[in-house]
Amino acid sequence: MIAGHRGAASLAPENTLSGFQKAIDSGVKWIELDTQLSADNIPVIFHDETVDRCTNGKSKVADLTFAELTALDAGSWFSEEFAGEKIQSLAQTLAFFMANDLSMNLEIKIHHDHQVPPLIEHVAKVLEEINFPHEKLIISSFSALALVHCRKRMPSVRLGYITEHDPLPMLSQLQELNLYSMHLDHKILSEEMAKEILQAGLKLVIWTLNDLQQASKFRSWGVEMIITDKPDLFAQA
């Protein structure tokens, strides 16, 4: 399976509707995106701790209300073609995914541990309100603490642990979370590591692979999902 990274990060501004549309147009069924809370506790789709890189504003995301966030231009930094692109709420995005029959790898983006309890509570509420199908969802995070809170609040949701380090020493501890998948930086994955992860009963997801030449190697190692900035290239192949 191929998933568009932050939508389709090489084709459109990351984590925007245009990016999600580009991923759909590429032919992928899965999209990875990042969520965190606005100052007024609305889960929004955004990667960085600040809006500085990907909008025309300058502030921490957590310091701006949803109204303030949506007033920003989240497209021009990428290209004038996308001027006026708006930051989306998780609720808006889930509705878009349902309307387009898309599956979501929702990354819980934690910049500080104190953000975990409110973010998980508000994400869980939005998922419940929209009744997003669990079979079209994987929630993932670099934060093990976030995954602990997810497991408590959403007992049946599929959870993935994201890491850029060898996960094997932590595997038994992580298994207490009843994980579904391991989301590894493709640069650190070896065939041996892949074997051990699969033997532990976990699905293997890699990010962010943009070199198509390497895809068949990872497939042969049992990788289930490739997250890429170039869904057009990978989906065609």
Rule CB under 5 A: say whether 34 interacts with Mg ion.
yes
Q: Which of 22, 149, 158, 183 binds ligand G3P (CB under 6 A)?
A: 183
Report whether 167 contacts 161 (CB < 8 A): yes
How far is 189 from 152, CA to CA, in rounded Å?
A: 30
Report whether 154 contacts 146 (CB < 8 A): no
Out of Mg ion, ligand G3P, none, what residue 24 binds, judged by CB under 5 to 8 A for its kind, is none
Nearer to Mg ion, 34 or 85 (CB): 34
The DSSP string of the chain is -EEEETTTTTTSSTTSHHHHHHHHHHT-SEEEEEEEE-TTS-EEE--SSBSTTTSS--SBGGGS-HHHHHTS-SSTTT-GGGTT--PPBHHHHHHHHHHTT-EEEEEE--SSGGGHHHHHHHHHHHHHHHT--GGGEEEEES-HHHHHHHHHH-TTS-EEEEESS--GGGHHHHHTT---EEEEEGGG--HHHHHHHHHTT-EEEEE----GGGHHHHHHTT--EEEES-HHHHHH-
From the CB of 162, what's the least distance to ligand G3P, in Å? 5
Nearer to ligand G3P, 162 or 215 (CB): 162
Nearer to ligand G3P, 31 or 72 (CB): 31
Q: At what angle do helices 116-130 and 90-99 cross, to 10 degrees?
A: 40
Rule CB under 6 A: say whether 228 interacts with ligand G3P.
no
- Binders of ligand G3P: how many residues, by CB under 6 A? 10
Rule CB under 6 A: say whether 32 interacts with ligand G3P.
yes
Of 105-164, which residues contact Mg ion (CB under 5 A)? 107
Q: Which of 138, 162, 184, 226 binds ligand G3P (CB under 6 A)?
A: 162
Nearer to ligand G3P, 18 or 140 (CB): 140
From the CB of 110, what's the least distance to ligand G3P, in Å? 11
Rule CB under 5 A: say whether 229 interacts with Mg ion.
no
Nearer to ligand G3P, 62 or 71 (CB): 62
From the CB of 109, what's the least distance to ligand G3P, in Å? 7
Rule CB under 6 A: say whether 229 interacts with ligand G3P.
no
Rule CB under 6 A: say whether 132 interacts with ligand G3P.
no
From the CB of 67, what's the least distance to ligand G3P, in Å? 25
Which residues lie below 8 Å from residue 193, measured CB to CB, with a gap of 6+? Answer: 166, 167, 168, 184
Rule CB under 6 A: say whether 85 interacts with ligand G3P.
no
Report the interface residues with ligand G3P, using CB under 6 A. 5, 32, 34, 47, 107, 140, 162, 183, 207, 227
